[in-house]
A and B are shown apart, each in its own frame.
Chain A
Amino acid sequence: MKRRVYHTALLAALAAPSAVHATVYMSAEQAQAVMFTGEVLRPDFRQLTNDQVSAIRKASGEAPLRHDLKAWRASGGGWFIVDEVVGKHEFITFALALDASGAVKSVEILDYREAYGSQVRDPRWRAQFTGKRAGQSLQLGRDVRNISGATLSSKHVTDGVRRLLATYAIVLAHAG
């Protein structure tokens, strides 16, 4: 009789502590309205080439997480970019607004996901949130835990902004 082999890896993953918490502050559309009030934004998404990715890494010290660049061109000449950074326990989506000269106008955190264990570094774990960000199940900014504890570092976001400034210089600055 052939013995049935159970696949248990999934159960092990379920048993592991997975205190996942997600806070959604804004949708990309809301961020566009706040960061480029009164301007029209047109999507200008790009696929980064391998050469561009290594140039960005060289210029900023940070490697892009993915090859697709979610950028919008504002009618006033600025750029709106949505991107992600991964910390030790957190996965953060943020929006960067650049003015027509490529200088930082503002940065808004769109959402913050926290997980313990190695989940946050696993692209498959992160993928489950892709496309859900617009807040289908989560109410925007209404699900916030107020936490007091050791100061949380924003280093990964700062690094992400530096990487996007390099991305702008290498990929977007000369766009017509």
Chain B
Amino acid sequence: MITRCRPLLGTLVEISVPDEAVAAIAPAFDAIAHIHARMSFHEPASDLARLRAALPGHSVAVGRETVAVLRMALALHRATKGLFDVTIGRQLVSSGFLPRDSVEHLGRFRGTSADIAIVDDTHVRIGRRVLIDLGGIAKGHAVDRAIEVLMENGVPMGLVNAGGDLRAFGDRDWQVQLRDADDVVRLAVPARNCAIASSANLLNRRRHRGAIHGPHVGLGRQPVLVDERITVVAEWCIIADAMTKVAMVDPILAGQILDAYKGYVLPNAPVAATMAKAV
């Protein structure tokens, strides 16, 4: 296997393929770079920048992939009764987890995911103004896209890891080490034809106006602070990525939704993460 690594999506992205398939790595990274350009909160030319400038009632042109990710985000927002919400940008800017520059009048972004309407495959309209952050879902989508590109290029097996959100395919087991919330690796699981995503915030907290905040926000826009790693296995990485945030707050609800997507919350005991039984 050959592994390459690039800084994208605010993290370090690794792509591993067999030696003879090394030429497929560059187009897979290109697909991720495209997603980075469209869906990064920090990129001034991104679709997210257009959406935060968007005025209520106006249709905004965005990329197809952005619409695809928003469709999934909105479906998860409904399925989780508002728990999974990509409009938490306001809270994350306020608590210092996202940069304040390029965001004017933070208080005006009062909308939730319920204010986002998909017009067609390349247009979105908002009700109230929203500050969208796709940090909880775009990495998963990027991993899925990169895997598709590898497959389209005839690569027989591979692994894409976007800073902890990963997906493996092909006829082999991949050892995946799980880094616990305290930064220590205690458990490794063999993964085969599945996606694995983990979230934790024990070591990523800051104080803002007398309260402790983390990068995860739950119902009522309250910070979600958990001291443990949450790991989700699913067929697609977009689901695994997004559902870690739901499982942090409500593991039972997360389990119910994951049932429909051939996934589950990984128990904290050694098991094999595999989709073989589900496929």
The chain A residues found within 8 Å of chain B, CB to CB, are 23, 25-26, 34, 89, 94, 106-109, 112, 116, 140-142, 144-155, 157-158, 161
Q: Which of B14, B166, B191 has the most CB of A within 10 A?
A: B14
B180 sits at the interface (CB 8 A) = yes
Overall SS of chain B's interface: strand
Check B196 against A144 for contact (C-beta < 8 Å).
no
Bound state CA distance, A140 and B185, in angstroms? 23
Contact flags B148-180 to A (C-beta < 8 A → 1, else 0): 000000000001010111101000001111111
Bound state CA distance, A147 and B189, in angstroms? 10
Check A148 against B6 for contact (C-beta < 8 Å).
no
B95 sits at the interface (CB 8 A) = no
How near does chain A come to B214, taking the closest CB pair, in angstroms? 10
**Which residues on B sit within 8 Å (CB–CB) of A144?**
1, 3, 14, 16
Which of B81-89, B101-109, B200-208, B217-225 contacts the other chain?
Answer: B200-208
Interface size class of B (residues with CB under 8 A): 35 or more
A-B contact pairs, 20 of them (CB 8 A): A25-B4, A25-B14, A94-B7, A112-B5, A112-B12, A141-B1, A142-B3, A146-B175, A147-B176, A147-B179, A148-B165, A148-B166, A148-B176, A148-B179, A149-B178, A149-B200, A150-B200, A150-B203, A150-B204, A152-B12
A155's closest neighbor in chain B, by CB?
Answer: B10
Given contacts A144-B16, A148-B176, A148-B179, are A154 and B10 in contact (CB under 8 A)?
A: yes
**Which residues on B sit within 8 Å (CB–CB) of A153?**
10-11, 163
A-B contact count (CB 8 A): 113
Bound state CA distance, A149 and B188, in angstroms? 11
**Of B11, B177, B200, the contact of A154 (CB 8 Å cutoff):** B11
The chain B residues found within 8 Å of chain A, CB to CB, are 1-8, 10-12, 14, 16, 26, 139, 159, 161, 163-166, 168, 174-181, 183, 185, 191, 196-204, 229, 231
How near does chain A come to B102, taking the closest CB pair, in angstroms? 16
B199's closest neighbor in chain A, by CB?
Answer: A150
Check B201 against A26 for contact (C-beta < 8 Å).
no
Check B166 against A151 for contact (C-beta < 8 Å).
no
